[in-house]
Amino acid sequence: MAGGAGELSLSPARIAGGVALALVVALCLGTLLPLVLAAEPGRGIGPADRAAIRFTLFQATLSAGLSVLLAIPVARALARRRFPGREALVTLLGAPFLLPTIVAVLGLIAIWGRSGLASRALGLAGLGPLDVYGLGGVLLGHVFFNLPLVTRMLLQGWGAIPAEHWRLAAQLGMGPGAVFRHLEGPMLREVLPGAFLLVFLLCSTSFAVVLALGGGPAASTVELAIYQALRFDFDLGRAALLGLVQFAICLVLAAGLLALGRQAGFGQGLGGPVARHDAARPLARAIDAGAILFAAAFLLLPLGAVVVRGLPALIAGLPAQVWPALRVSLSVAVPSALLSLALALALAGLVTSVRRGLLAEALTLMGLAASPFVIGTGLFLVLNPLVNPFALAIPVTLLVNAVMSLPFAMRVMVPAMRRAREDYGRLADSLGMSGVSRFRLAVWPALRRPAGFAGGIAAALSMGDLGVIALFADPETATLPLTMYRLMGAYRMEAAAGTALLLLLLSLALFWIFDRGGRWLDRA
Amino acid sequence: MIVLETLVLQQGDFRLEADCRFREGAVTALIGPSGAGKSTLLSAIAGFLAPARGRVLIGGEDMTGRAPADRPVTMLFQEHNLFPHLRVWQNVGLGLDARLRLDRAQRAEVDAALAEVGLAGTGERRPAELSGGQRQRVALARALLRRKPVLLLDEPFAALGPALRTEMLALVAGIAERERMSVLMVTHMPGDARAIAAETALVAEGRVAPPRPTGPMLDAPEGALAAYLGAAG
């Protein structure tokens, strides 16, 4: 932007951006201060905590490695094959993102648990049932969520290889080996480190999967240890120390991602396949068919199980505690999505008004790296002397959820805002448009659709979140995911399955309403 | 000789018909408005696009069903002709062996081809260290080594300045004449056609017109060609 009146007239937008920035930084970084004060470093890190740190890094390494290794053949198959249902499968790859974690866990147990589909199939072959709890379950959960994410990132990478290079390869008669060496290998070297680090980061802050599938102290992560220290031992010093450890882990990873200098993409990855002359051999076809069938079954079976098991329970009627929880969930998710959207809008305005994109990157990564438990623990320590923190469970959850979905909302809003500025910024400058009218007439129209989409993501994420609410909730207050987790803990699996289906439908409905709302505003 | 026999190319709503032949061992220009299908025609000859009907013959042989690598054709694209992670000599060497296992004699061939296009001593560089014109020279060196009788140019010099473009065209014309290559060249510039193409074919209105001698055709343009070139033609 070339200075002048337009630059000055941005000041209300800049103030909003500054306020949003201050709030986010205060929540993500400011909450560290009470942790530092409470941490009692003299006590050191005990053996149980050391084990939790080791397990956190160990499972995150394996989760990221497996997600990446399995995603490569799946993405390659999707990149070079056209088949009926391809578009649907690529869309399905986006679904786990909106799926409440605890719902996915229930679906995974229905397939991979002791009495699940896989165990029964093994039983027919005379083999013992599977035990899903422990390291295996944690990996299963993490791969379920991150295999689709990495696949989409890689699919984008394949799509970014110029069509000319495929034609060149065909003309030069390159076989699969040469194509891998000269086209796919270099692309993977670019994309994979970022994908691996991103998944590592997501898996090292994951809570619900470890809580529900970890199955005991042997598979306890730092996040879980914080939860236990606060919730069961009420050991604030230990929780604070663990919070700092968790923050340090995330900081290193985020710095790594920033150093790689690439956007941690959550992109669309929908680039159409190029005609491929190198993939006609029967072996390549068989491998691709296998990869596609594997991915489809791995993703669809648990989702199908949630529907098949949940539907009868939902029709038969859910336990009484579900309905108040539904009200709580909605009163968290909707305001949280709106808050997240407002923050994203203000921050997008701020980061696009400075020339460098680094601020946007750093903010996104800060949101990704911030652990809800670190923020929650910090808030807990601040609030504890003043009020009963458990009384503030709902506002705190709302606030933390809004910050947690901020990276994703910004991923959508920043490019839209940048486009709006590039397309109409100079025109608006030259017409002397400023302040509210500039926003209303020149900026907002270009943002309505992406805002609806971003709000939908934030609402679905908040609806399905089982994180900080577990830390703060008293027995009477619970969101839908927490209620579902409690039902599972009480072995009321029928009721849990019904609640899971309800939660799934509500998350998708919220996303749909926001997304449609954006489109409707755009048309009106 | 390249023969297009009742050829029909179809891509969604787009349709192009061709029924003509291009002279052997000569440069033929394809001229016409953007979107008329000049590049699509080259893609079909190179084997990247299967025709809806009709066939392509090169040197009397039917190309139907032949993979791009099995056709006697080299195509130069507007950009992305080189792999950015490979050195210049490797990019050229791909023309001899796609797995890049070159013996000493082949390495010498690569160096000779580079010298031929005026890039002696640049073998160890990477494409990013070269200018746009130099990069297309590397691609031309690879085309030389491939020794295919047909060279298809999909505007590889369009992004270069006028002086450089003229120089590159002269280089191509010299190589084509010496190697007895048949060249099909897509261009927007009547001047380019005049410079090196003995004959020119108009691609417009869904049809490839049979090629005619370039000079007379451009001196007295008619119909769609006149519309394309403008009144001043």
Choose from B9, B43, B85 for mutation: most chain A CBs within 10 A: B85
* Mean pLDDT along residues A477-488: 92
A175 contact residues in B (CB cutoff 8 A): 98-99
Instruction: At B110, list the tokens.
Output: 């690569």
- Highest mean pLDDT pick, A120-129, A144-153, A218-227, A429-438: A144-153
Task: Tell me the residues of B at the A interface, defined by beta carbons under 8 Å apart.
Answer: 43, 46-49, 67-70, 73-75, 77, 79-81, 83-86, 94-95, 98-100
Q: What is the pLDDT of residues A301-318, one digit of tens each?
A: 999 999 999 999 999 988
Q: Do B83 and A165 touch (CB under 8 A)?
A: yes
In the structure, what pLDDT confidence band is assigned to residue A143 with cuts at 50, 70 and 90? very high
CA dist., res. A206 & res. A198, Å (int): 12
Q: Between A172 and A442, where is the model more confident?
A: A172
A127 contact B CB<8A? no
A277 contact residues in B (CB cutoff 8 A): 47, 67-69
A182 contact residues in B (CB cutoff 8 A): 83, 85-86, 94
Q: Do A173 and B98 touch (CB under 8 A)?
A: yes
Q: Do A182 and B81 touch (CB under 8 A)?
A: no
* Mean pLDDT along residues A203-223: 89
* Mean pLDDT along residues A319-328: 92
Q: Is the pLDDT of residue A2 over 50?
A: no
Which pTM value belongs to this model? 0.84
Q: What single letter denotes the amino acid at residue A193?
A: P
Give B230 to chain A, closest Cα distance, Å: 32
**CB under 8 A, 24+ apart: contacts of A378-382:** A378/A30, A378/A31, A378/A32, A378/A33, A378/A34, A378/A35, A378/A243, A379/A31, A380/A230, A380/A236, A380/A239, A380/A471, A380/A472, A381/A34, A381/A35, A381/A37, A381/A38, A381/A236, A381/A240, A382/A31, A382/A34
In the structure, what pLDDT confidence band is assigned to residue A424 with cuts at 50, 70 and 90? confident
B154 contact residues in A (CB cutoff 8 A): none
CA dist., res. A254 & res. A197, Å (int): 8
A162 contact residues in B (CB cutoff 8 A): 79-80
CA dist., res. A196 & res. A194, Å (int): 5
In the structure, what pLDDT confidence band is assigned to residue B231 with cuts at 50, 70 and 90? low
**Cβ neighbours around A237 below 10 Å, total:** 16
Q: Is the pLDDT of residue A3 over 60?
A: no
Of A175, A183, A277, the CB nearest to B68: A277
CA dist., res. A81 & res. A280, Å (int): 10
Percent of all residues in chain A with a pLDDT value above 70, rounded to a whole number: 94
CB pairs under 8 A between A and B: 61
Q: What pLDDT score was predicted for residue B74?
A: 95
Q: What pLDDT score was predicted for residue A274?
A: 60
Q: What is the pLDDT of residues A337-363, one digit of tens each?
A: 999 999 999 888 888 877 666 777 777
3-state SS class at B75: strand
Of B49, B68, B83, the CB nearest to A182: B83
Residues forming a β-bridge with B2 = B22, B58
Answer CATH for B1-72+150-233 from 3.40.50.150, 3.40.50.720, 3.40.50.300, 3.40.50.920: 3.40.50.300
Q: How far is CA A210 from CA A44, A465, B214, in A?
A: 25, 14, 74
What is the DSSP secondary structure assignment for residue B189, as one 8-state letter?
-
Q: Between A234 and B105, where is the model more confident?
A: B105
Q: Do B73 and A171 touch (CB under 8 A)?
A: yes
Q: What is the pLDDT of residues B199-217, one digit of tens each?
A: 999 999 999 999 999 999 9
**Cβ neighbours around B125 below 10 Å, total:** 15
What is the DSSP secondary structure assignment for residue A27, as one 8-state letter?
I
Helices (H), A232-281: 236-260
In the structure, what pLDDT confidence band is assigned to residue A507 with cuts at 50, 70 and 90? very high
CA neighbours closer than 13 Å in the CB half-sphere of residue A197? 24
Choose from B94, B136, B151 for mutation: most chain A CBs within 10 A: B94
Q: What pLDDT score was predicted for residue A68?
A: 96
DSSP codes of every residue in A153-187: HHHHHHHHS-HHHHHHHHHTT--HHHHIIIIIHHH
Q: Do B83 and A186 touch (CB under 8 A)?
A: yes
> Which is it for the CA torsion B36, B42, B45, B46, positive or negative?
negative
In the structure, what pLDDT confidence band is assigned to residue A11 with cuts at 50, 70 and 90? low
CA dist., res. A25 & res. A369, Å (int): 12
Range 77-106 of A in CB contact (< 8 A) with B? none
Q: What pLDDT score was predicted for residue A124?
A: 87
3-state SS class at B183: strand
Range 170-229 of A in CB contact (< 8 A) with B? 170-175, 177-178, 182-183, 186
Q: What pLDDT score was predicted for residue A65?
A: 97
Q: What pLDDT score was predicted for residue B34?
A: 87
Instruction: At A183, list the tokens.
Output: 């086209």
Q: What pLDDT score was predicted for residue A266?
A: 40
Q: What pLDDT score was predicted for residue A467?
A: 85
Of B80, B85, B99, the CB nearest to A178: B99
In the structure, what pLDDT confidence band is assigned to residue A498 with cuts at 50, 70 and 90? very high
- Beta pairing, strands B53-58 & B61-62: antiparallel
CA dist., res. A150 & res. A198, Å (int): 9
A169 contact residues in B (CB cutoff 8 A): 98
- Residue pair A238/A49 in contact by the 8 Å Cβ criterion: yes
Q: What is the pLDDT of residues B48-105, one digit of tens each?
A: 989 999 999 999 999 999 999 999 999 999 989 999 889 999 999 999 988 888 999 9
* Mean pLDDT along residues A84-95: 89
Helical (H) or strand (E) element with A378:
helix A372-383
Q: What pLDDT score was predicted for residue A262?
A: 54
* Mean pLDDT along residues A76-83: 90
Q: Do B46 and A171 touch (CB under 8 A)?
A: yes
A167 contact residues in B (CB cutoff 8 A): 43, 46, 48, 68, 75, 77
Q: What pLDDT score was predicted for residue A355?
A: 65
Phi, psi of B120 (to 5 degrees): -55, 135
Give B98 to chain A, closest Cα distance, Å: 5
Q: What pLDDT score was predicted for residue B222?
A: 85
- Residue pair A512/A95 in contact by the 8 Å Cβ criterion: no
Kindly provide the ipTM of the predicted complex, given to two decimals: 0.85
Say which residues have a Cβ less than 8 Å from residue A494's Cβ, sequence separation at least 6. A309, A312, A313, A316
Q: What pLDDT score was predicted for residue A273?
A: 46
Give B224 to chain A, closest Cα distance, Å: 30
Q: What is the pLDDT of residues A241-299, one digit of tens each?
A: 898 899 899 889 888 887 876 544 443 333 344 667 777 788 889 999 999 999 999 99
Q: What is the pLDDT of residues B140-182, one digit of tens each?
A: 999 999 999 999 999 999 888 889 999 999 999 999 999 999 9
Q: What is the pLDDT of residues B20-56, one digit of tens each?
A: 999 999 999 999 998 899 999 999 999 998 999 999 9
Q: What pLDDT score was predicted for residue A270?
A: 35
Q: Do B69 and A162 touch (CB under 8 A)?
A: no
Angle between helices A101-112 and A282-316 (to 10 degrees): 110
Q: What is the pLDDT of residues A450-471, one digit of tens each?
A: 999 999 999 999 999 998 888 8
Q: What single letter denotes the amino acid at residue B144?
A: L
Q: What pLDDT score was predicted for residue B233?
A: 41
CA dist., res. A73 & res. A162, Å (int): 20
Q: Is the pLDDT of residue A322 over 60?
A: yes
A164 contact residues in B (CB cutoff 8 A): 77, 79-81
CA dist., res. A54 & res. B100, Å (int): 45
Query: What's chain A's average pLDDT?
Result: 86
Helices (H), chain B: 38-46, 88-93, 104-116, 132-146, 162-179, 190-196, 214-219, 223-229
What is the DSSP secondary structure assignment for residue A217, as one 8-state letter?
G
Spell out the domains of chain A, with CATH numbers in brackets: 1-30+317-524 (1.10.3720.10)
* Mean pLDDT along residues A172-183: 89
Q: What is the pLDDT of residues A382-401, one digit of tens each?
A: 888 888 888 888 899 999 99
Q: What pLDDT score was predicted for residue A371?
A: 81
**Residue from B77, B94, B97, B76 nearest B85 by CA:** B94
Domain residue ranges of chain B, discontinuous segments joined by +: 1-72+150-233, 80-147
Percent of all residues in chain A with a pLDDT value above 90, rounded to a whole number: 40
Say which residues have a Cβ less than 8 Å from residue B178's Cβ, sequence separation at least 6. none
**Residue that the structure tokens 């996915």 belong to:** A104
> Which is it for the CA torsion A441, A443, A446, A449, positive or negative?
negative
